[in-house]
Amino acid sequence: MSILVNKNSRVLVQGITGSEGQFHSTQMLEYGTNIVSGVTPGKGGKTTLNDRIPVFNTVEEAVEKTKANTSIIFVPPSFAAEAIIEASYAGINLIVCITEGLPVHDMLQAKRIISRNGTRLIGPNCPGIITVDECKLGIMPGFICKKGNIGVISKSGTLTYEAIDQLVNVGLGQTTAIGIGGDPIIGTTMRDCLELFESDPETAGVVIIGEIGGQMEIEAARWAKSKMSKPVVGFIAGQTAPPGRRMGHAGAIVSGGDDTAEAKMQILKECGIGVADSVADIGQLMKNSMK
Protein backbone atom coordinates (compact mmCIF):
# COMPACT_ATOMS: atom_id res chain seq x y z
CA MET A 1 0.00 0.00 0.00
CA SER A 2 1.01 3.64 0.38
CA ILE A 3 -0.30 6.90 1.70
CA LEU A 4 -2.01 9.75 -0.16
CA VAL A 5 -1.11 8.79 -3.77
CA ASN A 6 -0.83 5.60 -5.80
CA LYS A 7 -1.08 4.34 -9.38
CA ASN A 8 -4.83 5.03 -9.39
CA SER A 9 -4.55 8.73 -8.47
CA ARG A 10 -6.00 10.83 -11.29
CA VAL A 11 -3.67 13.81 -11.51
CA LEU A 12 -4.36 17.33 -12.75
CA VAL A 13 -1.47 19.75 -13.32
CA GLN A 14 -2.21 23.43 -12.69
CA GLY A 15 0.22 25.48 -14.76
CA ILE A 16 0.98 22.60 -17.11
CA THR A 17 1.93 24.80 -20.07
CA GLY A 18 4.59 26.79 -18.21
CA SER A 19 8.25 25.79 -18.38
CA GLU A 20 8.27 24.18 -14.91
CA GLY A 21 4.94 22.49 -15.51
CA GLN A 22 6.09 21.10 -18.85
CA PHE A 23 9.41 19.80 -17.57
CA HIS A 24 8.18 18.15 -14.41
CA SER A 25 4.98 16.80 -15.97
CA THR A 26 7.15 15.02 -18.52
CA GLN A 27 9.22 13.52 -15.71
CA MET A 28 6.10 12.49 -13.81
CA LEU A 29 4.58 10.82 -16.87
CA GLU A 30 7.79 8.91 -17.51
CA TYR A 31 7.70 7.66 -13.92
CA GLY A 32 4.20 6.32 -14.46
CA THR A 33 2.08 9.01 -12.82
CA ASN A 34 -1.49 8.98 -14.12
CA ILE A 35 -1.79 12.58 -15.37
CA VAL A 36 -5.25 12.99 -16.88
CA SER A 37 -5.44 16.75 -17.52
CA GLY A 38 -3.87 20.16 -17.14
CA VAL A 39 -5.18 23.66 -16.46
CA THR A 40 -3.96 26.95 -17.88
CA PRO A 41 -6.49 29.80 -18.12
CA GLY A 42 -6.87 30.92 -21.74
CA LYS A 43 -5.44 27.73 -23.22
CA GLY A 44 -8.44 25.46 -22.83
CA GLY A 45 -9.17 23.17 -25.75
CA LYS A 46 -5.52 22.56 -26.55
CA THR A 47 -3.37 19.53 -25.78
CA THR A 48 0.17 19.33 -24.49
CA LEU A 49 3.02 16.89 -23.87
CA ASN A 50 2.95 15.46 -27.39
CA ASP A 51 -0.86 15.69 -27.54
CA ARG A 52 -1.17 13.26 -24.64
CA ILE A 53 -2.79 15.60 -22.09
CA PRO A 54 -5.87 17.84 -22.62
CA VAL A 55 -5.71 21.39 -21.26
CA PHE A 56 -8.69 23.16 -19.68
CA ASN A 57 -9.35 26.74 -18.64
CA THR A 58 -10.55 25.87 -15.13
CA VAL A 59 -10.06 23.13 -12.57
CA GLU A 60 -13.81 22.67 -12.34
CA GLU A 61 -14.05 21.85 -16.04
CA ALA A 62 -11.03 19.53 -15.87
CA VAL A 63 -12.51 17.62 -12.93
CA GLU A 64 -15.86 17.31 -14.70
CA LYS A 65 -14.33 16.03 -17.95
CA THR A 66 -11.47 13.84 -16.65
CA LYS A 67 -12.53 12.88 -13.09
CA ALA A 68 -9.25 14.23 -11.67
CA ASN A 69 -9.01 13.87 -7.88
CA THR A 70 -5.43 15.06 -7.25
CA SER A 71 -3.75 18.31 -8.26
CA ILE A 72 -0.17 19.52 -8.43
CA ILE A 73 0.52 23.24 -8.73
CA PHE A 74 3.31 24.83 -10.79
CA VAL A 75 2.23 28.48 -10.91
CA PRO A 76 3.94 31.72 -9.79
CA PRO A 77 3.69 32.62 -6.08
CA SER A 78 1.30 35.52 -6.64
CA PHE A 79 -1.28 33.12 -8.12
CA ALA A 80 -0.54 29.94 -6.16
CA ALA A 81 -2.93 30.51 -3.25
CA GLU A 82 -5.73 31.26 -5.71
CA ALA A 83 -4.87 28.01 -7.52
CA ILE A 84 -5.09 26.08 -4.23
CA ILE A 85 -8.48 27.61 -3.47
CA GLU A 86 -9.78 26.91 -6.98
CA ALA A 87 -8.78 23.25 -6.75
CA SER A 88 -10.38 22.90 -3.33
CA TYR A 89 -13.70 24.35 -4.47
CA ALA A 90 -13.62 22.07 -7.53
CA GLY A 91 -13.60 19.02 -5.28
CA ILE A 92 -9.97 17.96 -5.56
CA ASN A 93 -9.11 15.70 -2.60
CA LEU A 94 -5.34 16.18 -2.51
CA ILE A 95 -3.35 19.23 -3.63
CA VAL A 96 0.44 19.37 -3.86
CA CYS A 97 1.84 22.91 -4.17
CA ILE A 98 5.47 23.07 -5.27
CA THR A 99 5.56 26.88 -5.51
CA GLU A 100 7.73 28.75 -3.03
CA GLY A 101 7.43 32.35 -1.91
CA LEU A 102 3.67 32.43 -1.26
CA PRO A 103 2.71 35.52 0.75
CA VAL A 104 1.77 34.52 4.30
CA HIS A 105 -1.52 36.44 4.10
CA ASP A 106 -2.51 34.53 0.96
CA MET A 107 -1.63 31.20 2.55
CA LEU A 108 -3.67 31.99 5.66
CA GLN A 109 -6.74 32.56 3.50
CA ALA A 110 -6.11 29.40 1.47
CA LYS A 111 -5.64 27.28 4.57
CA ARG A 112 -8.93 28.47 6.07
CA ILE A 113 -10.79 27.50 2.91
CA ILE A 114 -9.20 24.09 2.39
CA SER A 115 -9.74 23.24 6.06
CA ARG A 116 -13.42 24.10 5.70
CA ASN A 117 -13.69 22.07 2.49
CA GLY A 118 -11.84 19.04 3.87
CA THR A 119 -9.07 19.26 1.24
CA ARG A 120 -5.60 17.94 2.07
CA LEU A 121 -2.66 20.11 0.98
CA ILE A 122 1.01 19.13 0.77
CA GLY A 123 3.24 22.22 0.78
CA PRO A 124 3.64 24.90 -0.35
CA ASN A 125 7.38 25.27 -1.00
CA CYS A 126 7.94 21.53 -1.08
CA PRO A 127 9.45 18.87 -3.37
CA GLY A 128 6.19 16.91 -3.43
CA ILE A 129 5.39 13.28 -2.75
CA ILE A 130 6.35 9.96 -4.26
CA THR A 131 4.87 6.51 -3.77
CA VAL A 132 7.63 4.33 -5.13
CA ASP A 133 7.01 2.70 -8.53
CA GLU A 134 3.46 4.08 -8.62
CA CYS A 135 3.11 7.85 -8.56
CA LYS A 136 5.47 10.83 -8.46
CA LEU A 137 4.03 14.28 -7.80
CA GLY A 138 6.62 17.02 -7.79
CA ILE A 139 10.32 17.39 -8.31
CA MET A 140 11.77 14.42 -6.42
CA PRO A 141 14.11 12.29 -8.55
CA GLY A 142 12.33 8.97 -8.83
CA PHE A 143 15.43 6.97 -9.75
CA ILE A 144 16.93 7.32 -6.26
CA CYS A 145 14.00 5.49 -4.64
CA LYS A 146 13.56 1.79 -4.04
CA LYS A 147 10.33 0.02 -3.22
CA GLY A 148 10.24 -1.03 0.42
CA ASN A 149 8.60 -0.51 3.80
CA ILE A 150 9.98 2.78 5.20
CA GLY A 151 8.03 6.04 5.15
CA VAL A 152 9.90 9.33 4.86
CA ILE A 153 8.66 12.75 6.06
CA SER A 154 10.81 15.82 5.55
CA LYS A 155 10.78 19.61 5.70
CA SER A 156 13.82 19.75 3.40
CA GLY A 157 13.90 18.78 -0.26
CA THR A 158 17.60 17.97 -0.56
CA LEU A 159 17.70 16.18 2.79
CA THR A 160 14.74 14.06 1.66
CA TYR A 161 16.85 12.83 -1.22
CA GLU A 162 19.83 12.22 1.07
CA ALA A 163 17.70 10.28 3.57
CA ILE A 164 16.31 8.10 0.77
CA ASP A 165 19.82 7.43 -0.50
CA GLN A 166 21.05 6.48 2.97
CA LEU A 167 18.13 4.07 3.38
CA VAL A 168 18.76 2.46 0.00
CA ASN A 169 22.47 2.09 0.83
CA VAL A 170 21.62 -0.19 3.76
CA GLY A 171 19.02 -2.15 1.80
CA LEU A 172 15.87 -0.35 2.96
CA GLY A 173 13.29 0.84 0.44
CA GLN A 174 10.39 3.24 0.84
CA THR A 175 6.62 3.09 0.70
CA THR A 176 5.96 6.82 0.33
CA ALA A 177 8.23 9.84 0.78
CA ILE A 178 6.71 13.25 1.49
CA GLY A 179 8.31 16.68 1.43
CA ILE A 180 5.91 18.70 3.57
CA GLY A 181 7.56 22.09 2.98
CA GLY A 182 9.42 24.52 5.17
CA ASP A 183 7.16 27.58 5.19
CA PRO A 184 5.65 28.92 8.43
CA ILE A 185 2.17 27.87 7.22
CA ILE A 186 1.80 24.53 5.46
CA GLY A 187 -1.08 22.22 4.76
CA THR A 188 0.02 18.89 6.25
CA THR A 189 2.20 18.47 9.33
CA MET A 190 4.62 15.78 10.47
CA ARG A 191 2.08 14.51 12.96
CA ASP A 192 -0.53 14.22 10.19
CA CYS A 193 1.90 12.13 8.15
CA LEU A 194 2.87 9.95 11.10
CA GLU A 195 -0.80 9.12 11.64
CA LEU A 196 -1.13 8.10 7.99
CA PHE A 197 1.99 5.92 8.10
CA GLU A 198 0.90 4.32 11.38
CA SER A 199 -2.32 3.24 9.64
CA ASP A 200 -0.53 1.89 6.56
CA PRO A 201 0.04 -1.87 6.95
CA GLU A 202 2.97 -1.90 4.51
CA THR A 203 4.96 0.81 6.31
CA ALA A 204 7.13 -0.74 9.02
CA GLY A 205 9.15 2.31 10.10
CA VAL A 206 9.33 6.07 9.53
CA VAL A 207 12.12 8.62 9.09
CA ILE A 208 11.42 12.27 9.94
CA ILE A 209 13.72 15.08 8.81
CA GLY A 210 13.14 18.28 10.75
CA GLU A 211 14.91 21.56 11.24
CA ILE A 212 15.21 24.46 13.64
CA GLY A 213 12.24 26.74 14.27
CA GLY A 214 8.67 26.02 15.27
CA GLN A 215 7.14 23.18 17.26
CA MET A 216 6.12 20.71 14.56
CA GLU A 217 8.77 18.08 15.31
CA ILE A 218 8.01 18.25 19.03
CA GLU A 219 4.26 17.82 18.48
CA ALA A 220 4.95 14.85 16.19
CA ALA A 221 7.34 13.26 18.69
CA ARG A 222 4.91 13.58 21.59
CA TRP A 223 2.14 12.05 19.50
CA ALA A 224 4.44 9.22 18.44
CA LYS A 225 5.43 8.47 22.04
CA SER A 226 1.93 7.35 22.95
CA LYS A 227 0.39 6.44 19.58
CA MET A 228 3.09 5.08 17.27
CA SER A 229 3.70 1.33 17.23
CA LYS A 230 6.40 1.50 14.54
CA PRO A 231 10.01 2.65 15.01
CA VAL A 232 10.72 6.29 14.17
CA VAL A 233 14.14 7.74 13.39
CA GLY A 234 14.76 11.48 13.23
CA PHE A 235 17.30 14.07 12.15
CA ILE A 236 17.22 17.81 12.90
CA ALA A 237 18.99 20.14 10.48
CA GLY A 238 20.48 23.46 11.55
CA GLN A 239 22.53 22.32 14.51
CA THR A 240 24.99 25.21 14.10
CA ALA A 241 22.40 27.92 13.37
CA PRO A 242 22.69 31.09 15.53
CA PRO A 243 19.53 32.29 17.34
CA GLY A 244 17.41 34.83 15.51
CA ARG A 245 18.72 34.11 12.03
CA ARG A 246 16.67 32.40 9.37
CA MET A 247 18.42 29.42 7.81
CA GLY A 248 17.09 28.42 4.39
CA HIS A 249 13.33 27.98 4.82
CA ALA A 250 11.06 30.77 5.94
CA GLY A 251 10.03 28.69 8.95
CA ALA A 252 13.59 27.87 9.98
CA ILE A 253 14.33 30.56 12.50
CA VAL A 254 15.17 30.02 16.16
CA SER A 255 13.35 32.31 18.57
CA GLY A 256 14.66 30.64 21.70
CA GLY A 257 13.50 27.87 24.02
CA ASP A 258 12.83 24.42 22.60
CA ASP A 259 12.94 25.25 18.89
CA THR A 260 16.73 24.92 18.64
CA ALA A 261 18.20 21.80 17.05
CA GLU A 262 19.72 20.68 20.34
CA ALA A 263 16.44 21.05 22.25
CA LYS A 264 14.43 19.27 19.57
CA MET A 265 16.91 16.40 19.42
CA GLN A 266 16.66 15.94 23.18
CA ILE A 267 12.86 15.93 23.14
CA LEU A 268 12.79 13.43 20.28
CA LYS A 269 15.08 11.12 22.28
CA GLU A 270 12.88 11.47 25.37
CA CYS A 271 9.92 10.41 23.24
CA GLY A 272 11.63 7.21 22.15
CA ILE A 273 12.71 8.38 18.70
CA GLY A 274 16.16 7.37 17.50
CA VAL A 275 18.04 10.57 16.66
CA ALA A 276 20.84 10.68 14.07
CA ASP A 277 23.62 13.18 14.69
CA SER A 278 24.31 13.28 10.96
CA VAL A 279 22.08 12.66 7.97
CA ALA A 280 24.65 10.05 6.94
CA ASP A 281 23.63 7.94 9.95
CA ILE A 282 19.92 7.74 9.13
CA GLY A 283 20.00 4.53 7.11
CA GLN A 284 21.96 2.45 9.61
CA LEU A 285 20.00 3.85 12.56
CA MET A 286 16.72 2.94 10.88
CA LYS A 287 18.03 -0.53 10.05
CA ASN A 288 19.07 -1.06 13.66
CA SER A 289 15.66 0.13 14.87
CA MET A 290 13.92 -2.51 12.72
CA LYS A 291 15.62 -5.42 14.55
Could you write out the three-class secondary structure of 195-251?
Answer: HHHHHCCCCCEEEEEEECCCCHHHHHHHHHHHHCCCCEEEEEECCCCCCCCECCCCC
Task: Give the list of residues 6+ apart from residue 217 with CB closer than 8 angstroms, or none.
Answer: 190, 208, 210, 234, 236, 264, 267, 268
DSSP per-residue codes, 34-47: -EEEEE-TT-TT-E
Which residues sit opposite 236 in a β-bridge? 210
Could you write out the three-class secondary structure of 125-151?
Answer: CCCEEEECCCEEEECCCHHHCCEEEEE
CB distance 195 to 246 below 8 Å: no
The CA-based angle 6-81-193, given to 5 degrees, is: 40
Residues catalogued as catalytic: 249
Distance from the Cα of residue 89 to its chain's centroid: 21
Taking alpha carbons only, the member of 136, 130, 162 closest to residue 148 is: 130
Kindly compute the dihedral angle of the four CA atoms of residues 90, 122, 199, 275, in this order, to the nearest 10 degrees: -170
Q: How many CB atoms are closer than 10 A to CB 229? A: 6
CB distance 152 to 207 below 8 Å: yes
